[in-house]
Amino acid sequence: MKDFTVDYFTMTEQDAMEYAKAINLFPEDAELTCKEIGDGNLNYVFKIVNIKNHQSIIIKQAGPVARISDEFKLSPDRNRIESEILGLQYKLAPGFVPKVYNYDPIMNCTVMDDLSNHEIMRTALLKHKKFPLFADHITTFLVNTLLLTSDVVVEHKEKKELVKQFINPELCEITEDLVYTEPFYDCPRNEVFEGSKEFVKEVIWNDKKLVLESAKLKFEFMTNAQSLLHGDLHTGSIFIKKDSTKVIDPEFAFYGPAGYDIGNVIANLIFAYANGKFTIEDKETRDDYINYLITTIKDVINLFTVKFNKTWDEKATERVARYEGFKEYYLDTILRDTAAVAGLELLRRIIGLAKVKDITSIQEREARIRAEKICLTAGKTFILSRQSIKTGADFINVIQSAELSSVKGA
């Protein structure tokens, strides 16, 4: 048996089973099977099952380079950040994250609940499944993890300790590059679908005003240590079933603008919307699914607002947070950032290196181009008009206007 206590190495399925036994996750007589099931861009995820009683766990290990491309060399210490934030979120938002059982700083891996009775939300949305409780669940998660880690609630020296604990330069650099920089010029690392290239050039890269706004937003992202973010809250970071939502993969966590997480949720619902619009053939089924997503997007914004106001009133400890008008000002800035980040995520998944299946799986060329144009047009409006996009209805207007203009321009 290998020694897991001295030097770090990336594990095979066989190693992961031996590791599970070595740290006594299963009884001596357990009969284990293991499958590497990671489908993200960065890590290895081993599902280990004791076939005698079907008991199972997940071991997630950080490798030294990203799976998507070994251009990204990353410290495996990101696994510490992930395990520590999962522990914190487990307390702040009970029921909405998996339980962590062990973190190993030598092997850079974390043992956590197996959520195989759930499904990755992006995969489920691609099958056009509906989750009517999602907006309620995710807004509780968002308000609890974002507001309850901010200076509004946390004593300021304690908060600064948290900023220190979750400093995450390498993963932040990925976001700074892939989200805030590369989509705004003809960067060699971008991967633009050939049918959309002209549109991207004309509407995104040649728009100096938009490019300038991206610079302002990049500096906001790098300097506004407002809340402890998940940092990568797309639908591939969510496990879901009808009555349960679990947020996973918070390795991009750091103190940044609260709107970053909310904007990511919104943009990824819009990708699902674009997928539904261009892949569901039957009109009635399509309209029904699209309406479900419209309602969900609207509810995420509106429920976030309601829960944010309530939690602020109940939990704010900072004296100036009680000054008349400050809560409204603060929420306004979060909603502005939410719109901006929804826009950035929409643009970067179309233009940049890291794609989403919602769009890449649209087989018919013209349909994919139209889906991409809707995302790009909406993304641009979210960024440029972010100051005036505040309500669920405002968010929906942007999507529907982008859709209308894609019909006119088609």
3-state helix, strand, coil split of the chain in percent (to 5) is 55, 10, 30
Query: How many secondary structure helices (H) and strands (E) does the chain include?
Result: 14, 10
For strands 43-50 and 55-62, give the pairing: antiparallel
Residue 174 binding ligand SR1, by CB under 6 A: yes
> In angstroms, what is the C-alpha Rg of the chain?
21
Return the residue nearest Mg ion (CB atom).
249
Return the residue nearest ligand SR1 (CB atom).
41
Binding partner of 102, given Mg ion, ligand SR1, none, CB within 5-8 angstroms per partner class? none
Residue 72 binding ligand SR1, by CB under 6 A: yes
Q: Which of 354, 367, 384, 396 binds ligand SR1 (CB under 6 A)?
A: 354
Q: Give the shortest CB-63-to-ligand SR1 separation in angstroms.
A: 12
* Residues sharing a CB contact under 8 Å with residue 79, sequence separation 6 or more, in sequence order: 43, 60, 61, 62, 103, 108, 109, 110, 251
Q: Give the shortest CB-175-to-ligand SR1 separation in angstroms.
A: 6
Residues 247-276 that bind ligand SR1 (CB under 6 A): none
Range in contact with ligand SR1 (rule: CB under 6 A) among 122-130, 141-149, 172-180, 383-391: 172-180
Residue 65 binding ligand SR1, by CB under 6 A: no
Q: Which of 82, 113, 182, 232 binds ligand SR1 (CB under 6 A)?
A: 232
Whose Cβ is closer to ligand SR1: residue 42's or residue 125's?
A: 42
Order of strands, edge to edge, in the sheet holding 244-247?
Answer: 119-120, 238-241, 244-247
Q: Give the shortest CB-251-to-ligand SR1 separation in angstroms.
A: 9
Q: Give the shortest CB-22-to-ligand SR1 separation in angstroms.
A: 30
Structure-token pair, residue 163: 């900023």
Q: Are 96 and 137 in contact (CB under 8 A)?
A: yes
Q: Give the shortest CB-298-to-Mg ion separation in angstroms.
A: 26
For strands 254-256 and 238-241, give the pairing: unpaired
Q: Per-residue string for binding with ligand SR1, 180-219, x by CB under 6 A? A: ----------------------------------------
Whose Cβ is closer to ligand SR1: residue 41's or residue 244's?
A: 41
Q: Give the shortest CB-168-to-Mg ion separation in angstroms.
A: 13
Q: Give the shortest CB-357-to-ligand SR1 separation in angstroms.
A: 13
Q: Which residues here bind Mg ion, judged by CB under 5 A?
A: 40, 249
- For the packed helices 365-384 and 208-223, what is the interaxial angle rounded to 10 degrees? 70
Closest CA to 57 of 86, 28, 98, 89: 98
φ/ψ region of 316 (left if φ > 0, alpha if ψ in -120 to 50, else beta) reads beta
Whose Cβ is closer to ligand SR1: residue 58's or residue 303's?
A: 58
254 forms bridges with which residues in the sheet? 229
Residue 41 binding ligand SR1, by CB under 6 A: yes
45 forms bridges with which residues in the sheet? 60
Closest CA to 249 of 239, 264, 263: 239
Whose Cβ is closer to ligand SR1: residue 26's or residue 44's?
A: 44
Q: Are 151 and 94 in contact (CB under 8 A)?
A: no
Binding site for ligand SR1 (CB under 6 A): 40-42, 66, 68, 72, 174-175, 178, 232, 354
